[in-house]
Chain A
Amino acid sequence: EPEVTQTPSHQVTQMGQEVILRCVPISNHLYFYWYRQILGQKVEFLVSFYNNEISEKSEIFDDQFSVERPDGSNFTLKIRSTKLEDSAMYFCASSEGVGRKILNEQFFGPGTRLTVL
């Protein structure tokens, strides 16, 4: 069964450093998302991406964050200058679409645990 994959599974970084989290969405999916989950809390939406541009973003997704689809398979989340409060589990998700119509089901990857020291 196709699945969303994410690398690395765990990333430890120093405060102020840049990190890039990588995702490979399901191959025929057109819509891509990043969510985060601070330990013990709910899953929070960060950003959605379609047709090589951001379609929606939350207040969390400030200028320190960026997303990119550098090739036909990868989808990345970059945090430019990490803060302690960026420590969380980051999940990538993808969903199918037909043209601009999204088919609702979002499939999540296993996550990257980001620890900022």
Chain B
Amino acid sequence: LAKTTQPISMDSYEGQEVNITCSHNNIATNDYITWYQQFPSQGPRFIIQGYKTKVTNEVASLFIPADRKSSTLSLPRVSLSDTAVYYCLVGDMVYGGSQGNLIFGKGTKLSVKP
């Protein structure tokens, strides 16, 4: 089963770009990489998902090298409201493939300071 490793915590200041890296050395061919954001006592909120290379949406970018053994979530110009726990998820969610392979990392607690 693919397992993920992330930094436990990161500090940043408002307006900076934040990059959070996730290591997933045992990622399988069918696995996708998904990042979620979670505020205290709330459910995780989907941020971005990718399989390889680079994916960008209105809130973040996801960089995945060719070997797919790691990925980097990039948050441009963070604000105080971006203070949260960020989880890297690796798994095969296609029907018939999610046989307990959905594994969250322990998460990275991002603190954004003024």
Are A and B bound to each other? no
Residues of A within 8 A of B (CB): none
Residues of B within 8 A of A (CB): none
